[in-house]
Each structure stands twice: as C-alpha cells, then as structure tokens.
C-alpha cells in the first residue's frame, strides 16, 4: 500500500509534535534521553520519520532550543522595550538568568562548545543582546566599545548560570547573579546619560553607534571615522603619531 504523504499543515503538526516530545524528554531526563528512538516512541511514529524533518540530532536540538526559548520569552513582559535602554539591558539579563535556571539541560546544550557551531537559538539571543547594548551606546551610557560590552555581559551571564546550576537548588545564592551584573555594569556603563567632562571614551562609543547612519559621508569616510572612534573608545593610541596625513 502506498504511503500517504501529509500536506503542509500535516507536516507542520507532525514537526511540532516531534519538537514538543523532544523538549519534554530533554526537560525531564536530560540530553542523554533525547535519542531518535525515544523521541519517535514518544511522538507515536517510526524512528526513520524523524529524519524527514531533521537532518540529525543536533538539528532537532536546535529546533527544541528555538521552540523553548521563544515560548519562554513570549510569556514575559520583557519582550517589549521600555524606552529606557539601561533598564532594558538589565531586563534582558534577568530573562537570561531565569531562562537558564528554568531550562538547565537545554542551557547546557546551548553553551556546549563541543556541539560545533553555535545554534540558531543562541545566535538569536546574542543578536538581541547586541541590539540592547547598541541602544545603550547611542545614549552615551557605554564607556567601552559595543563588542567588548557584549562579550563581557555574555561571558558573565553564562558563567553565572552555570555556577548556579552546579550548586544544589537548596544552596543556590541567587544574589550571585545580581552581584555579577553590578560588577560588569560598573566597568562598562557611565554613571549619567549626559557625558561629563573627560569622558572622551564614552563620547566616542556613543558617536560610533550612530556613525553608520551618517549618510552625508561616503562609505570610505564612514569607515575611517569608525576606525578613529574605535581607537578612542578602546583607549588605544599611538604615541608620537601625527595628527593627520601629510
């Protein structure tokens, strides 16, 4: 008897069912339980069917990560910007910590360097962080280059979650995450939105954030301006260098 292939809506439902079953196995039993056979059994299908929707286990886990992360964020009021970039940066940190603690097995997969290139879910999370840091830079509150700020926040957030997850729940000190955030922001943020005298680095970072939008300059001029501002923003100078060409 010929196999009847599902239509588009049927494929979508089947794929969603596979992802839901894999997410439940991951949440309840850890990454080791997410095998093709186990997922297929939980979804009520033959194991080869999984490969019609996902190239391999990593592709399935990426889909699970995106599904769980999207579901988590959708239920939070933090999904929308408040209009205060600094407050939104803190809100994003809290979301990151909460997500990691609520999804221990999944978080471990997302930050596991042994899985090869980063998952789409992890990449999307970094893009959200970059956007929030960029908005902070644009109002003059960032004292370091945007890339440096993103790396510091990402490293601190990942480290805080992994440290808390390695501690038995009854002994976790959730203030650790708050202390880590305060330590990082003291090194990357200025105290006030108006740039005080002597804050050349903060001014350069703020100007660097909007430099690509200066369409009255040529592409070459914008690139050169960005290079100069990056040099001021990260504090690198060349002693004895001439002020300009010629």
Backbone angles phi, psi at 55, to 5 degrees: -65, -40
Q: Rounded to the nearest 10 degrees, how much is the dihedral formed by the CA atoms of 116, 119, 120, 125?
A: -120
What is the rounded (10 degree) CA torsion for 149, 230, 193, 77?
Answer: -40
Report how far residue 79's alpha carbon sits from residue 95's, in angstroms, rounded to the nearest whole number.
Answer: 9
Domain boundaries, the chain: 10-54, 65-233
Q: Find out whether 222 and 209 touch, Cβ atoms under 8 Å.
A: no
CATH architecture observed for domain 10-54? Orthogonal Bundle (1.10)
pTM above 0.85, yes or no: no
pLDDT digits (tens), the chain, 246 positions: 334 455 678 888 999 999 999 999 988 888 788 888 999 999 999 988 999 999 888 888 888 888 887 777 666 544 567 789 999 999 989 988 998 998 888 888 778 777 655 667 777 788 889 999 999 998 889 989 999 999 999 999 999 999 999 999 999 998 999 999 999 999 999 886 544 444 555 555 655 665 566 665 677 766 766 665 666 555 544 333 333 333
Which residues, other chains included, contact 150 with Cβ-Cβ below 8 Å and sequence gap of 6+? 126, 129, 130, 133
Return the bridge partners of 142, or none: 189
* Rounded Cα–Cα distance for residues 107 and 109 (Å): 5
What does 66-118 look like in DSSP terms, one character per residue?
A: HHHHHHHHHTSGGGS--S-HHHHHHHHHHHHHHHHHH-HHHHHHHT-GGG-SP
């Amino acid at each position: 008897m010929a196999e009847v292939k599902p239509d588009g809506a049927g494929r979508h439902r089947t794929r969603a069912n596979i992802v839901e079953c894999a997410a439940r196995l991951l949440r309840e039993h850890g990454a080791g339980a997410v095998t093709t056979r186990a997922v297929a059994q939980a979804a009520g299908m033959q194991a080869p069917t999984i490969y019609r929707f996902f190239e391999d286990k990593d592709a399935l886990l990426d889909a699970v990560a995106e599904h769980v992360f999207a579901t988590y964020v959708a239920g939070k009021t933090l999904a929308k910007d408040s209009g205060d970039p600094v407050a939104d940066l803190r809100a994003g940190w809290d979301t990151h910590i909460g997500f990691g603690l609520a999804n221990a097995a999944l978080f471990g997969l997302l930050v596991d360097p042994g899985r090869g290139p980063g998952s789409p879910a992890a990449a999307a999370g970094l893009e959200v962080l970059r956007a929030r840091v960029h908005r902070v830079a644009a109002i003059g509150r960032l004292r370091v280059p945007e890339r440096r700020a993103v790396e510091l926040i990402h490293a601190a957030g990942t480290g805080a979650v992994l440290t808390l997850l390695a501690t038995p729940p009854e002994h976790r000190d959730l203030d650790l995450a708050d202390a880590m955030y305060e330590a990082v922001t003291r090194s990357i943020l200025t105290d006030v939105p108006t740039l005080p005298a002597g804050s050349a680095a903060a001014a350069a970072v703020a100007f660097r954030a909007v430099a690509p939008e200066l369409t009255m300059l040529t592409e070459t001029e914008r690139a050169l301006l960005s290079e100069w501002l990056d040099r001021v923003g990260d504090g690198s100078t060349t002693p004895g260098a001439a002020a300009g060409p010629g």
